[in-house]
Structure 1
Amino acid sequence: MALRSLIPPLAVAVPVRNEEERIGTCLEALARQEGAAFDHVVLLLNNCSDATLIHAQSLAPALPFTLTLVERQYALERAHAGTARREAMEVAADLVGPEGLLFTTDADGTVTSDWLIRTLAAFEAGAAVVCGRAIIDAMDAVKIPASLHDDDVAEVAYGTLLDHIHHLTDPDPADPWPRHTEHSGASIAVRVSAWKCAGGIPAVPSSEDRAFVAALRRIDMPIRHAPDVLVTVSGRTTGRAQGGMAETIARRIHHQDEMLDDALEPAVLCLKRAQARSALRVLWNEYPRNHDLQMLQPLASHLELTATEIAAWLGAPYFGQVWEAIERASPALRRQRVKRSELTQHHAAATEILKNLLAQNPLSTRSFLKFPPPQSITHSRERQSIR
């Protein structure tokens, strides 16, 4: 890794709600980084009513970074993770400046000792955004019914197959295999410049992490889903964030969801989506030099749109904007959910599609054998984002 003088300023933003029991572990993990160190950690205390502030203050003198504590009492309708993470990142960005790197994790998270250095390696390879993986704490995981673990392993495995279809059909140079599909606020890092261009963290009541990555994808920021960047999070069933992991685990313990995560779809539709995006990418790159509507007709038919409609979108400055508009407009790409009871047959269909893709491209066989193993009960509502 580069000398410390070559590493830009680094700050971690952590939204916090009543975490007096866990904030010490979170801060200690951030302090134990190997090979590099954070300059700043910002705790945004969101309507806290416990001793989180006092506990954090007592730890501050021994920490190897500057700890910034920000207390907020938001109106109830704004007192959610989206508001808190957004402001925490804003404070952190002011501390590190325009050349800095912003990290965010959760107050119940324990990052690995190589979390920082592995994330920096992904930035050095060209990423503007690095998404890590969140894994349930082993002590909490044993309290979750085995049936939920089994369901989650099957769901993650299917999601991995779909993502591999995308990888083989429309490869992303910034996000090579192996990779994952999580967009969890427990492990996201971003260049300040990219964060600013995307408009910051969306102040939405839930899934602000997924919304943020979607905004970055919309402006073509290189996103790396690094399988070696890891954080352990709690598996509690009484959480702090609306729509968060705890809420999902509690709901599924009471009654398992009939449908898989809404990012997962039938394998045939996944292939069609990947093929369409790949073809559209070629056309978007070519269209400034060639405005021939006939060139657009095959894709238009594939998407059940007109060539004129596609041409109207191709003038957008970012491919992500073009793709988002066409995905929304195309009847052929309308999202379809997958029933959990039908997962086995969808898994078989995805496996067959991959087999055919690999037969067409034998050089991809090695990457197929290296896909990351499924992780049990990593909150799929936050995790999945299949392209």
Structure 2
Amino acid sequence: MVICVPARNEEQALPGLLAALGRLDAVGGATVCLYLDGCVDGSETVVRHAAASAPFALLLQVGPGSTASNAGVARRAAMAMGLAHLAGADGLLFTTDADSRPQRDWIAAGRAALDHADVVAGRIVRRHGARDGAQTRLEGYYNRLHAYRRLIDPVSWEAHDTHHFSGGANLAVRASAYRAIGGFRPLPFAEDATLLDDAARAGFRVRRDGAMLVETSSRRHGRAPQGLASALRAADVGEVPRVAHPAQMAWQWREHAAMRFGFPTIDHGRTCATLGARLGLSDDHVRGVARDCPNAEAFAMRIVPAAPGAADLVTLDEAEDALARLEASWCEAAA
């Protein structure tokens, strides 16, 4: 089992991370791979000093950094260290951030989650998060939205205590799945969410599990141009968040459920016609997509487009009201 961490100029944060990793249950069997990406501070000195007394094996790689480097490039490099250490074995890869602190049972929770899935996104909580009311409200909305998604599109591998987070500060993946997906893309932001999307489109089971918990910082300066730091800065100046309308998302998730349900009988002509009619697609198109999919999850993720009007954003107030109506309708239908 390998923990992979990218870092850039994190000499202040690294001692807290390394101390938290040292307190992990069963950490004695882990290897920590730290990739320092173009650091010009004392990060390397901090890591080399900690390696002498760490209760885990600590591997360090110092990258040169360049104008082409970014968050995705750095995380991909850290994961490459982990893959090299596994030497082709199908082990477990965990990743977090230098300013984050996994909870003591992080490894155990990740292992338990990977008994049911191929990729796991854990819950992320912010230190001093109570000070950031606007961000907390937005995260609460997305948690409700994801819970609603699993009401209308349930999957057997999802956690009971689920959530919306998909951040690189708290991910675990089977090495075999990571290799098959092609790894993190070298993107300046959203490399983590993209990995989860790529995994689902490849037919792997993506689980969001609240039992796997990491605490991260509430800092306002981060590397990813559209990451958490950027969101917190926007909230600080009173910027009103705008989000996709939940009804549009619900349409897409209902279609995911329908496609997943229909996939086992996709070779029947009537099934192709029925599914195609739902999406405005021909029988041949549906059959062609299905032919390239290893399972129902891949088919559902690939065949269903974004909902019409999904790019038309609404205020958070409007989205919360609309989601409340959707939740009420579901409760009435289930009663």
Give the structure-2-normalised TM-score.
0.91
Distance 1:347 1:357, change over 3 A: same
CA distance in 2, matches of 1:257, 1:94: 44
**Partner letter of residue 259 of structure 1?**
R
Name the Cα RMSD after superposition: 2.2
Tell me what 1:327 maps to. Answer: 304
What is the aligned partner in structure 1 of residue 51 from structure 2? 60
- Identity level (%): 25
Deviations 1:70-102 (A, max 9, x none): 01113212x211111101111111213422111
Q: Does 1:310 align with 2:286?
A: yes
> Which residue number corresponds to residue 91 of structure 1?
81
Structure 1 partner of 2:322: 349
What CA distance in whole angstroms lies between the structure 2 residues aligned with 1:299 and 1:118?
38
Q: Is the 8 A contact 1:161 1:351 kept in 2?
A: no
Match status 1:155 vs 2:134: no
Structure number with greater CO (CA < 8 Å, separation at least 6) is 1
Task: Give the alignment partner of residue 258 of structure 2, picking from 279, 283, 308.
Answer: 279
Any idea what the Cα deviations from partners look like across 1:102-155, whole Å, max 9, x if unmatched?
11000011111111111122123x2211211221112xx46x5xxx51x33332
Shift of residue 334, structure 1, vs aligned partner = 5.0
What is the alpha-carbon distance in structure 1 between the residues aligned to residue 26 and residue 3 of structure 2?
Answer: 17
After superposition, give the CA deviation of every residue in 1:11-34 in whole Å (9 maximum; x if it has no partner): 111001011111011011011012
Please state how far the C-alpha of 1:302 moved relative to its aligned partner: 3.1
> Matches of residues 1-387 of structure 1 in structure 2 within 5 Å?
10-35=1-26, 37-77=28-68, 79-97=69-87, 98-124=89-115, 126-138=116-128, 141=129, 144=131, 149=133, 151-260=134-243, 265-288=244-267, 290=268, 292=269, 294-318=270-294, 319-328=296-305, 332-333=307-308, 335-340=310-315, 343-361=316-334
Q: In structure 1, how many angstroms separate the alpha carbons of the residues matched to 2:235 and 2:319?
A: 22
Distance 1:160 1:346 in 2: 13
Alpha carbons 2:14, 2:99 under 8 Å: kept: yes
Q: Is the 8 A contact 1:132 1:231 kept in 2?
A: yes
2:3, 2:31 within 8 Å by CA — same for their partners in 1? yes
Task: Tell whether the 8 Å contact from 1:123 to 1:129 is kept in structure 2 after alignment.
Answer: yes
Does the 8 Å CA contact 2:11/2:41 hold for their aligned counterparts? yes
Aligned-pair distance for 1:257? Answer: 4.2
Return 5+ residue gaps in structure 2 as ranges. Answer: none
| Deviations 1:25-81, CA, capped at 9 Å, x for gaps | 10110110125544210110000001110111111111111111101113212x211
Residue identity matched to 1:49: V
CA shift digits 1:143-190 (9 cap, x unpaired): x5xxx51x3333233323322332122211000432011111001011
Q: Deviations over 1:321-351 (max 9, x none)?
A: 43344334x6x545234322xx334323322
Contact 2:119–2:174, Cα closer than 8 Å, also in 1 = yes
Give the Cα–Cα distance (whole angstroms) in 1 for the partners of residues 303 and 227 of structure 2: 30
